[in-house]
Structure 1
Amino acid sequence: MLKKEPKPITFKNLIKTSLKTVFVVEAVAFAVSYGVWYRLNTDRNFRLYMFKNHNWVLEAYYGLGEKIADQKTRQLDLKVWDGEGKL
């Protein structure tokens, strides 16, 4: 009977496995960041949650929008939240 022995770990196999792992981690990180951006872009209540709990994320979102598209989302959100008494 033939005995099965594990293949020795070679440098080439180590590199392949590492690259696959890095690719999967980057894909997951991209998906999560896109999901957060999408919710920030479409949901004012989520922006309020981020304003109260993770302000640095919302500041980055507002800053990017102001630099790229000259958006006034920050002023509009603050005006709406103040009018609704949520601040």
Structure 2
Amino acid sequence: MSRRLIIKTILYAELGFLGATYIVWHRMNTSQDFRHYMHQKWPSILEGFYKTGEMSGYREARIADYKAWGLPHPFEELSKKS
């Protein structure tokens, strides 16, 4: 294989990975049903999604999801102590 072909292959793989990542993020950002699916199958990925949103001040997604799914959300404890 030529060096140029290897570089192109790596570039296309990176672009494909970036596109797939965006699609998953977009679905998690717009669909509570998809977030529930992620909660069941890949909770660590969903946790990363929540933490990324919380770093920018957006807690509502986790709170709404946990209420809809009948789970106690971690911020309940914080609000009870205050």
1:44 alignment partner, one of 32, 41, 63: 32
1:79 alignment partner, one of 61, 67, 71: 67
Are residue 21 (structure 1) and residue 9 (structure 2) matched?
Answer: yes
TM score, norm. by length of structure 2: 0.79
Distance 1:55 1:67 in 2: 18
Percent of aligned positions that are identical: 31
SS of equivalent residue, structure 1 residue 59: helix
Cα deviation, residue 28, structure 1: 0.6
Count of matched residue positions in the alignment of Structure 1 and Structure 2:
70
- Larger helix share, 1 or 2: 2
TM score, norm. by length of structure 1: 0.75
Answer with 1 or 2: which has the greater Rg: 1
4+ residue segments displaced more than 2 Å: none
Distance 1:71 1:24 in 2: 33
Q: Which runs of 5+ in 2 are unaligned?
A: 72-82
Q: Which runs of 5+ in 1 are unaligned?
A: 1-8
